[in-house]
Homo-oligomer: A and B are copies of this chain.
Amino acid sequence: MTGKKIRVKAPATVSNLSCGFDVIGLALGEPYDIVELELTETGSIEIEEIRGCETLSRDPGKNVVGAVLKAVAAAAGGLTGFRAVLEKGIRPGSGIGSSGASAAAAAYAAGRLLDDRFSLNDLVRFAMEGERLVSGSPHADNAAPSLLGGITLIRSYDPLDIVQLHIPRELWCVIIHPEAEIRTSVARGLLDTHIPLGTAVRQWGNLAGLVAGLYREDYELIGRSLVDFVAEPKRAGLISGFCDLKEAALKNGALGAGISGSGPSVFALCRGRDTAAEVMKGMSDTMVSLGTAFDAYMSPVSRKGAEEW
């Protein structure tokens, strides 16, 4: 058993999608993280190397991958240990599921090395331990789509119930990642602990519209539903130029745009590759005129989640 090795990639994700705060996320084609994992009989978790990022700790108690592997090892029992190499393709604090992708890759890799003895829900639960370490709350709206691919709904956390939603064939996503870091915990702190019932009703009307739009492949309905009354009004101020970016997205034909996760990345959903390309150009031009460094990505919603690589 020991000495077995695997190399797994898991993609970046966009959570919330404006109206689906804390319950919806989708998988992108790129960027992605890679975890190389080896099974050991030491009973210990070791992070041998982290590539592509100098700020993350290799201490397993302070690293997402370490937290996930610790949870897996505890569930597996015995002297299960792991030696990991983490290759970061996603920048920490970018708002496109950097920790979720590392966690998903680690959980998937560990599950494979342990002969697929865990269910997909188990793997999501392990990945959530990575999210707990980073943000204090064990959420799954990045880890689940990164693991499973596609567009996932976390209908319930207790019991964990993950629903794979329909993916409209022409749905593309554009990401602009301004060079700035927002800690999830800070972004969470900006939210009200209580919201007016009327606001909640408007939010869930839109979320229901979004889900219906996905199934109907009704792009107009998807666009009309991409409205956020809860998080965006509180968090938009953290992202300099957010309103300009959103305007540029819509002006260039995006169905809708909003904050990816807790930011600072901004996402735009588009119908088709050509529109996505124009939206990416329009948003990139805006960033250039703002003088802020940024990365830009576009990809169809990825049906693939974590996979051997």
A residues apposed to B, CB below 8 Å: 20-24, 153-156, 161, 163, 165-166, 191-197, 200-212, 215-216, 221, 224-225, 230
Contact = CB atoms under 8 A, between A and B. Distances in A.
A21 B201 contact: yes
Given A163-B209, A163-B212, A211-B211, A201 B155 contact: no
B22 A209 contact: no
A86 to B, nearest CB: 30
Contacts of A215: 166, 211-212, 215-216
Question: What is the count of identical protomers in the complex?
Answer: 2
A22 B200 CA distance: 10
A163 B195 CA distance: 25
A195 B200 contact: yes
Nearest to A156: B205
Nearest to A213: B163
Contacts of A155: 205-206, 208-209, 221, 224-225
A230 B195 CA distance: 12
Contacts of A203: 200, 204
